Structure 1
Amino acid sequence: MAGLALGDALGMPTQSMSAADIRRYYGGSITRLVNAVPQQPIAPNMKAGAVTDDTEQAFVLAQRLIEDGGHLDNARYARDLLQWEADMKAKGSLDLLGPSTKAALRKLTEGVSLEKTGRFGTTNGGAMRATPVGIAFRPGEALADAAWRSCVVTHNTVQGIESTTLVASAVSFAIEGERDFLHRAVNFVQALPQRGNWSPKASVLARVRHFMDWVEQDGRKVGDDEFALTLQRDCGTSVESNESVAAAFAIATRFFDDPTRALCFAASIGGDTDTIAAITGAMLGAWHGVQGFDAAMLDQVLSQLAEDNHLDLKATVSALCALRDAGDMC
């Protein structure tokens, strides 16, 4: 959860910007926490170290899992997300619900059933908030079901469910001490029965596997600029889960032993930088722990998380770990 928050904060100033504009307005690649410039399209002038909806929605899901004892109540969860957005609007925030989530929750308020509200959601909203599921559940059927339940209201598509389960299982395998947790997650999801509504968009699973294989075969041999160009041109870095989640897995693979560098790279690549960096941070953080990240930057983010967002990371993670340790969660 700390890695998720740090990645989110590093990507906050650059989200939805091109790599060229990031260099133009920030004087180069992101190497530290910076204030968002006035030209930032979603979070103008947001202060350095602040997190976005990625982290906040992950905590919304975490709290619902905790209150429900691990058995997610989707009706309550939907109300939680609607209340979160109302609170953000009251603060004047532009960093609100993503397009798939917003459309799905609007349908829910109109009386559409939970099974139908997310049938067009192929973006990364489920994946970006999946980390609590990976903490609360060990790899297995219960994790797969919890990942599905956590995104079915908003992202009930093959792409939405695959991306959410990939991130949750990567986190879970890492916590279990499996160094090859990225591959274990891909193989885990590959073996599951396919769920969700069909979409003509590319498979998340296939694209994650493709770009991980490319990194391991050729991607580690090229410089950072060429690596970034390949992801921008061939993978994509948009909010679509088959782009941003594939990019996050590729970045985590290339920079596996240097988590802070991975997050700075993700924050500089352009596109949905906050989510790509947040997912990368969650997965690498689950393996390396807080000691894997730059201590000063992490301290700043976690302090602001408590003071500005009123989110208690230690208490939340402790409660999620208690769910994991419970016999019926294994």
Structure 2
Amino acid sequence: MTDRYDRALGALTGLALGDALGMPTQLLSRPLIRARYGELTWFLDAPDDNEISRGTPAGRVTDDTDQALILGRLLVAGGGRVDPRRLADELLSWEARMTALGSADLLGPSTRRALQLLAQGAPIGEAGRWGDTNGAAMRVAPVGVVYPPDPVDRLVDAVADVDRVTHDTTVANAGAAAVAAAVSAGIDGASLSEAVTHGIEAARVGATRGQYVPGADVAARIEWARDLAAASPEPLDVIYRLVGTGVATQEAVPAAFAVLAVCPADPFQACLAAASLGGDCDTVAAMVGAISGACHGYAALPPDAVATLNAANPTLNIPELAGQLLELRDRLESRS
């Protein structure tokens, strides 16, 4: 197993691990999570009072992983580009399957709104005009596997191209670019600190792509959240109360980078911390797992946790996809 493949596999597996760990606690409050579970230590069945994930067994992933893998497969099919109409169709098909299975964990607000507009005849270039939530950032890790971190403009353009159908806004592009760049830098061997620096730079560039929407500057909030959490004796409480863990990109993405600042050494522990936050913590944990997994590699993930994940989700097929995405990266680099 080559080092770069180990890191690509770590990014996608880490994303799925974080997502699965946050599945039962998503949309619960942090005080409730702490009272019921303390800090999480392993996968949990979804509790009956979770309106989104109740009835879901421990270890199962959510739409965060499913959408990332859909995006990854489309990148492979398109040689590094994603056909926006095919992405829209795949997302609609996925939601139809989930609905048929009785799941309440469906498409997020920006994606659903964009796909509804497309169904009503809106052009691809207009459907994502107001998509500013974290759906773009949660599924973007495969773009980071395919595109090298430099030149940053090429990476950010690839992110914006993928985002256009559902999240064609400055805020969403900034958040997604931050995650993609951090993943990409990790695959090239960057330390976590170096990867975060790449993410912040890409967020600044990403904020120049797409349609303007009001919102706090994502790059600045990543820096602030990272420093705030690192200086706090109760960093997870500070992230929950001040940074925020809602679906807004300018909350969820800085929250993920803040968790990485306080859990830099162990990707699984970082995912557990993120899943303990509450709010949209499956998405925060998925981003944490993707970045930390890319920086530390698949070998740093606990084998028993990976085995539990694969047993609960036997159709993920992440190793093959990681290899295919890395082949695209090699082709891009050979043409540079």
After TM superposition, the score normalised by the length of structure 1 is: 0.93
- Residue 323 of structure 2 corresponds to 318
Say if 1:129 and 1:13 are closer, same or farther in 2 by CA, change over 3 A. Answer: same
Cα deviation 1:155-175 (Å, max 9, x = unaligned): 111111001111011000111
Say if 1:46 and 1:191 are closer, same or farther in 2 by CA, change over 3 A. Answer: closer
Residue 168 of structure 1 pairs with residue 180 of structure 2: yes
Alignment of 1:121-200 (within 5 A): 121-139=131-149, 140=151, 141-179=153-191, 180-191=194-205, 194-200=208-214
Q: Output the CA distance in 1 between the equivalents of 2:213 and 2:40.
A: 35
- Residue 6 of structure 2 corresponds to none
The answer (yes or no) to whether the contact 1:72–1:146 under 8 Å persists in 2 is no
- Residue 74 of structure 2 corresponds to 64
Amino acid in the other structure paired with 2:307: D
How far is the alpha carbon of 1:188 from its aligned partner? Answer: 3.3
Structure 1 window deviating more from structure 2 (106-115 vs 6-15): it is 106-115
Amino acid in the other structure paired with 1:172: S
The answer (yes or no) to whether the contact 1:2–1:302 under 8 Å persists in 2 is no
Cα deviation 1:247-292 (Å, max 9, x = unaligned): 0001012111122221111111110010000000000000111222
- Residue 290 of structure 1 corresponds to 298
Alignment of 1:1-330 (within 5 A): 1-24=12-35, 26-139=36-149, 140=151, 141-179=153-191, 180-191=194-205, 194-216=208-230, 218-219=231-232, 222=233, 226-305=234-313, 307=314, 310-327=315-332
Say if 1:301 and 1:174 are closer, same or farther in 2 by CA, change over 3 A. Answer: same
Structure 1 window deviating more from structure 2 (122-131 vs 83-92): it is 83-92
Cα deviation 1:213-256 (Å, max 9, x = unaligned): 3345x24xx2xxx2122112211110111001100001012111
DSSP 3-state at the match of 1:326: helix
How far is the alpha carbon of 1:73 from its aligned partner? Answer: 1.0
Q: Output the CA distance in 1 between the equivalents of 2:207 and 2:260.
A: 26
Aligned residues: 320
How far is the alpha carbon of 1:182 from its aligned partner? Answer: 0.7
% same residue:
39
Superposition CA RMSD, Å: 1.5
Say if 1:158 and 1:327 are closer, same or farther in 2 by CA, change over 3 A. Answer: closer
How far is the alpha carbon of 1:206 from its aligned partner? Answer: 1.6
Amino acid in the other structure paired with 1:326: R
Cα deviation 1:67-126 (Å, max 9, x = unaligned): 111122111111111111111111111110001100001101111111211111111000
Amino acid in the other structure paired with 1:275: T
Say if 1:100 and 1:193 are closer, same or farther in 2 by CA, change over 3 A. Answer: closer
After TM superposition, the score normalised by the length of structure 2 is: 0.91
Q: Output the CA distance in 2 between the equivalents of 1:253 and 1:263.
A: 12
Q: Output the CA distance in 2 between the equivalents of 1:285 and 1:295.
A: 13
DSSP 3-state at the match of 1:249: helix
How far is the alpha carbon of 1:28 from its aligned partner? Answer: 1.9
The answer (yes or no) to whether the contact 1:244–1:276 under 8 Å persists in 2 is yes
Q: Output the CA distance in 2 between the equivalents of 1:199 and 1:193.
A: 10
Structure 1 window deviating more from structure 2 (81-90 vs 123-132): it is 81-90
Q: Output the CA distance in 2 between the equivalents of 1:101 and 1:190.
A: 23
The answer (yes or no) to whether the contact 2:156–2:205 under 8 Å persists in 1 is no
The answer (yes or no) to whether the contact 1:17–1:41 under 8 Å persists in 2 is no
Structure 2 unmatched runs, 5+: 1-11
The answer (yes or no) to whether the contact 2:111–2:135 under 8 Å persists in 1 is yes
